[in-house]
Amino acid sequence: MASTIGDLGEFGLIARVTARFPETDDVILGPGDDAAVVGAPDRRVVATMDVLVEGAHFRRDWSAARDVGHKAVAQNCADVEAMGARPTALLIGLAVPGDLPVAWVDGFTEGVRAECAAAGAAVVGGDTVRSERIAVSVTALGSLDGGRAVTRSGARAGDSVAVTGPLGLSAAGMELLASGVEEEAVEKAGARAALDEHRRPGPPYGAGPRAARAGATAMLDVSDGLLQDLGHIAEASGVAVDVRRSALAPPPGLAEAAALLAGYGHRREAADYMLAGGEDHALAAAFPPGAVPAGWAVIGEIREGRGVTVDGRAPAPSGWDHFG
C-alpha cells in the first residue's frame, strides 16, 4: 500500500484527491477532463485565487492536514462571499513533497470536502505537482444569481460600517501557537476558540449575498486585519472610515486569549486583535443608514475625507505584509 506521495504517483494522487467529492447542481462537467464546466446562471462568474505556502501561511506542527484543507477553501469562499456571491466551484492545485505521507493528503482532502459542504461548493478540478514544500493554490468560482456585485468602491459618507463573523481570534490563536502556550493551558483559560479559528476560519456563509440584497455599498473579507482592509474601502471609495473602539464586542474566547497572552509578554487588549489581527475571514461592509441586516454589528461610519481612524484618531500601524 502506498504510504508516501512518491509511492502513489501523480495520477494516483489526482484520483485520490478528486475521489468522493460530491457534485452539486452547479457542476455541468466535473473533474477528469481537460477542464470542468460549471453553471453560471446569470451569465456572470465570480472568480478569485489564493495561494497558501507551508511556513508562511500554515505550519504542519500547528495545523493538522484537515485544518489546512478547511482553511484553503474557507479563505477563498470568503472572497466570493465578499462580492455578494455564492461559492459554486473550486479548483485546487496541490504541490507536495514526494516523501509526504499519503495520510496528510487524505486529511487535507477531508478538510476540503467538509468545508466545501459548508460553503455549498464543489471541487471541479485542479492539479498535483511535486515541490519541496507544501503549497496549495485554490481558485473559487461563484454566482451572483442575478444580484449586484458589491465592490470596495461604493461606500458613501453617512453609511454605517458593520462586520459579521468573528474578529481577532485567528491572530490571537497564531500568537498562542507562536508563544508555545500548551493547548491544555489554552483550554483551561477558555481561549480554545482562538486556536480553532486560526486553524479553521469559519466565514459567515450566506452573509455576503444577503448583505448585497440588503443594499451593501461596499464589502470585503477581513484577511489582512480590519483596519488595513477598511483602508482598502476608504481608498477605493474615496471616503474616510471611522471605527468606534467601544463598539467592538470581542467574540467568546478572545478576551481570555488576550489575558493568557499577557502572561507571555503580549500586552494587547481584545480590541487590538480585532482591529489589527489578520486572517479573520469575517466580512466588513458599508450600508446606508438603517439598512444593516440582522447578524451584522455596526462598528463605525463612513465620513467625508480619506483614511481610517479609530475614535477619530489615526491608529498605530497594523496588518501584515507577507514580504515585509
Binding site feature residues for Mg(2+): 34, 48, 50, 79, 127, 221, 224
| Residue whose CB is less far from its own copies, 123 or 240 | 123
| Residue whose CB is less far from its own copies, 131 or 179 | 131
Options 4-12, 160-168, 191-199, 285-293: segment touching its own copies (CB under 8 A): 4-12
Single out the residue of 18, 63, 109, 137 in contact with its own copies (rule: CB under 8 A). Answer: 137
List binding-site positions for ATP. Answer: 126-127, 152, 223
| Residue whose CB is less far from its own copies, 51 or 157 | 51
| Residue whose CB is less far from its own copies, 120 or 190 | 120
Binding residues for its own copies restricted to 61-90, rule: CB under 8 A: 79-80, 82-83, 85, 89
Options 111-119, 147-155, 182-190, 195-203: segment touching its own copies (CB under 8 A): 147-155
Rounded least distance, CB 96 to its own copies, Å:
9
What phi and psi, each to the nearest 5 degrees, are found at residue 63? Answer: -125, 135
Rounded least distance, CB 83 to its own copies, Å:
5
Single out the residue of 15, 40, 259, 297 in contact with its own copies (rule: CB under 8 A). Answer: 40
Binding track over 273-312 against its own copies, x by CB under 8 A: ----------------------------------------
CB burial of residue 236 (10 Å; 0-12, 13-18, 19+): middle
Binding residues for its own copies restricted to 186-225, rule: CB under 8 A: 219-221
DSSP assigned state of 33: B
Residue 149 near its own copies by CB under 8 A: yes
Q: Distances in Å between the alpha carbon of 249 and those of 57, 95, 224, 291, 311?
A: 27, 39, 19, 20, 15
| Residue whose CB is less far from its own copies, 127 or 187 | 127
Rounded least distance, CB 206 to its own copies, Å:
16
Rounded distance between C-alpha atoms, residue 301 and residue 163, angstroms? 12
Hey, which residues does 198 pair with through a beta bridge?
none
Single out the residue of 52, 64, 114, 214 in contact with its own copies (rule: CB under 8 A). Answer: 52
Residue 214 gets the label, from left (phi > 0), alpha (psi -120 to 50) or beta, of alpha
Binding residues for its own copies restricted to 113-132, rule: CB under 8 A: 124-132
Determine the size of the site formed for its own copies (CB under 8 A).
73
Rounded distance between C-alpha atoms, residue 32 and residue 207, angstroms? 32
Binding residues for its own copies restricted to 231-260, rule: CB under 8 A: 236
Rounded distance between C-alpha atoms, residue 242 and residue 260, angstroms? 29
C-beta of residue 102 within 8 angstroms of C-beta of residue 3: yes
Sequential DSSP letters for 227-283: HHHHHHHHHHHT-EEEE-GGG--PPTTHHHHHHHHHTTT----HHHHHHH-----EE
Hey, which residues does 287 pair with through a beta bridge?
160
Q: Distances in Å between the alpha carbon of 212 and those of 55, 79, 219?
A: 36, 14, 9
Single out the residue of 15, 23, 24, 47 in contact with its own copies (rule: CB under 8 A). Answer: 47
| Residue whose CB is less far from its own copies, 191 or 284 | 284
The C-alpha cell at 14 is: 489526482
